[in-house]
Amino acid sequence: MQLSSSQLEKFREDGFLVIRNFLDDKSCDVIREIAEVHLKYKIEPIETEYEYIGIEKDEYKQSIRRLRQVYDRDIVFKNWMENREIRPILKQILGEDIILLTAHHNSIMTKLAKTSTHTSWHRDSRYWHFEGKNLVSVWLALGEESSENGVLEFIPKSHKMEIAEESFDEKSFFREDYKINRDLIKQKLFFTLQKGDVVLFHSELLHRANANLSTQDKISFVYTVKGKSVKTIDGTRSSKFKEIELPIY
């Protein structure tokens, strides 16, 4: 599968692109069923809401925000991350050979019903260590994702903006108490997703998500690829996990 020139242009302009109905329902259901077992038994490595938000509440200590390191958990997860149909698209977007990362994302990302927290505006690159910015994340919806249950929201074009350091707080979240930031935030876009939809988004793109206020868990899959020319900085967290080249066949 390939992107049309207008889709490619849209990604380059906005820093994200929604591809509808990419993965069939059955494949999504199989991924979700396995994820639900890992969530039910809290199979490590996991990140809880408490670890993310730091608020001492029992419900946050019990609630899983994400299953980490999913590539090595189950062949079904690995197969999605190595899916061959998406590779030509990733190559178009990156403009070079594709390297799959397992250091970042590589997660089943959840917003569990009633016990999740919102995600503040940030760039993923804030805690990554690479020489170069040609990195893109692949988000797969395993069910409906809407504003009510915490769909991703983006500030279009922010991947290309030079943003002053003081616009970010001490945890590198984009401050919402700055007028200049608030003006940018007004431009935010989000799209309701259905099972099987894929969203590609640039590592420099500002994004956030609401808590899940619905009665159903939201479960998604996210992994990240980089262009082959992007160097991982030795001795950092980004260099501690394997990288896998994804050739085009």
Ligand X SMILES: O=C(O)CCC(=O)C(=O)O
Q: Kindly list the residues in this chain that would bind ligand X in the complex (CB under 6 A).
A: 105, 109, 111, 119, 124, 150, 152, 207, 209, 222
Closest separation in Å from C-beta 200 to ligand X: 12
Question: Judged by CB, which is closer to ligand X: 135, or 230?
Answer: 135
Question: Judged by CB, which is closer to ligand X: 38, or 123?
Answer: 123
Question: Judged by CB, which is closer to ligand X: 1, or 123?
Answer: 123
Beta bridge partners of 48: 64
Residue nearest to ligand X (CB): 119
Query: Which tokens go with 139?
Result: 């988000």
3-state DSSP call for residue 106?
A: coil
3-state DSSP call for residue 165?
A: helix
> What is the C-alpha separation between 197 and 190, in angstroms, rounded?
13
Closest separation in Å from C-beta 221 to ligand X: 10
Closest separation in Å from C-beta 226 to ligand X: 15
Closest separation in Å from C-beta 56 to ligand X: 20
Question: Judged by CB, which is closer to ligand X: 91, or 105?
Answer: 105
Alpha helix ranges (H) inside the chain: 5-14, 25-40, 49-53, 58-62, 75-81, 87-94, 179-185
3-state DSSP call for residue 166?
A: helix
- The secondary structure of residue 87, as a DSSP letter, is H
